[in-house]
Amino acid sequence: MMRSEPRALQLNDQGQLKHFLTLDGLNKAILTEILDRADSFLNMGEQSVKKVPLLRGKTVVNLFFENSTRTRTTFELAAKRLSADVINLNIETSATSKGESLLDTLQNLEAMQSDMFIVRHSESGAPHFIAEHCTPNVAIINAGDGRHSHPTQAMLDMLTIRRHKGQFEGLKVAIVGDLLHSRVARSQLHALKTLGAEEIRLIGPKTLVPEFFAQMGARIFYDLEKGLNDVDVIIMLRLQKERMQGALLPSESEFYRLYGLTESSLSWAKEDAIVMHPGPINRGVEIASEVADGKHSVILNQVTNGIAVRMAILSITMSGQLQNKMTDSSGGQH
């Protein structure tokens, strides 16, 4: 599906975001702007009126071709807190399941003067494809596509790390588990490299940790103890059994024995290490309950931070779209 170079498609002539499809190609300044904007939104949850008027009059469509209650709900909350009107499109009962093509569906939504599509799809590159084919007046946000990318999840993870560790320089970060099927891990890797983490370690069995990750600047470990030694941040990944074809694992119990994060294996990391998980958690498969609920865990902080990060991305992207329209209407070249 993917043809256009992501950076060229995502940025307007002023270098501002007009779509948010992938972290690949985005510079440190843009990622830092997202984190700083998200920081400014974090205290809104404590206010009596949890709204700002930044997207008042705008229509945001949650276009989820793949289920994800948590991601869809946080996007909906983020848009509503920015005062946007939100439409949740149930794809299973929409025209696409009645034989209507994706592009036909998009054109109908465009005709309703929608301003933003938040797209989640099982096919890698689907949000990119939509950004190429829809009207340039609609912003496209990638809420997860195939094995390719999940940029908003990675950015909420970066906000969580920054709020607990202060900075990225000097940090050793371990990502553990099913790397093969994880779009989150790919986005995390791009973000951590761009933001200046000292070392990124990927840990798991050979069947689930492709060697090409080493070409992206990560160190690969097949031994949990060696991989967790002296790390500052541990990100556990969900074992994605629904995406597995063939015998990639002997059993869940064997995976837990070798790669599950327990209080014992957590002791190999630094004393002040934080534990993260993008969710949903498989307790007793990739992480022990006492660790998921323990003092090192910041998993619930990730969920809270997700709303603020998605508010930041929605507001920054819509600003980039507005700037793009102003440039176009004044005769600027696009």
pLDDT of the residue at 68: 81
The tens digit of pLDDT for each residue in 38-59 reads 999 998 877 777 899 999 999 9
Tell which CATH architecture fits domain 151-298.
3-Layer(aba) Sandwich (3.40)
Q: Is the pLDDT at 74 greater than 50, yes or no?
A: yes
Per-residue pLDDT band at 252 (split at 50, 70, 90): confident
Average pLDDT over residues 267-292: 95
Higher pLDDT, 46 or 85: 85
Residue 291 has pLDDT above 90, yes or no: yes
Least confident of 104-108, 177-181, 223-227, 276-280: 104-108
| Residue extents of the structural domains in the chain | 6-149+304-329, 151-298
Q: Do domains 6-149+304-329 and 151-298 have the same CATH topology?
A: yes
Considering the chain, what percentage of its residues have pLDDT values greater than 90?
62
Looking at 1.20.120.450, 3.40.50.1370, 3.90.850.10, 1.20.120.1780, the CATH number of the domain 6-149+304-329 comes to 3.40.50.1370
User: What is the reported pLDDT for 328?
Assistant: 60
Give me the pLDDT at residue 321, please: 81
Can you give the pLDDT at residue 334? Answer: 39
Phi-psi bin for 230: left (phi > 0), alpha (psi -120 to 50), beta?
left
- 317 pLDDT tier (thresholds 50, 70, 90): very high
Mean pLDDT value across residues 132-152: 91
Angle between helices 299-329 and 28-41 (to 10 degrees): 110
The answer on pLDDT for 125 being more than 70 is yes
Confidence of residue 69 (pLDDT cuts 50, 70, 90): confident
**DSSP collapsed to 3 states, the chain:** CCCCCHHHHHECCCCCECCECCCCCCCHHHHHHHHHHHHHHHHHHHCCCCCCCCCCCCEEEEEECCCCHHHHHHHHHHHHHCCCEEEEEEHHHCHHHHCCCHHHHHHHHHHCCCCEEEEEECCCCHHHHHHHHCCCCCEEEEEEECCCECHHHHHHHHHHHHHHHCCCECCEEEEECCCCCCHHHHHHHHHHHHHCECEEEEECCHHHCCHHHHHHCCEEECCHHHHHCCCCEEEECCCCHHHCCCCCCCCHHHHHHHHCECHHHHCCCCCCCEEECCCCCCECCCECHHHHCCCCECHHHHHHHHHHHHHHHHHHHHHHHHHHHHHHHCCCCC
pLDDT at 219: 97
Per-residue model confidence (pLDDT) at position 101: 72
pLDDT in the model for residue 244 = 43
pLDDT interval class at 98 (50, 70, 90) = low
pLDDT digits (tens, 9 = 90+) for 144-179: 998 889 999 999 999 999 999 999 999 999 999 999
φ, ψ of residue 71 to 5 degrees: the values are: -65, -45
pTM of the model: 0.90
Q: Measured in whole angstroms, how far is the alpha carbon of residue 41 from the centre of its chain?
A: 18
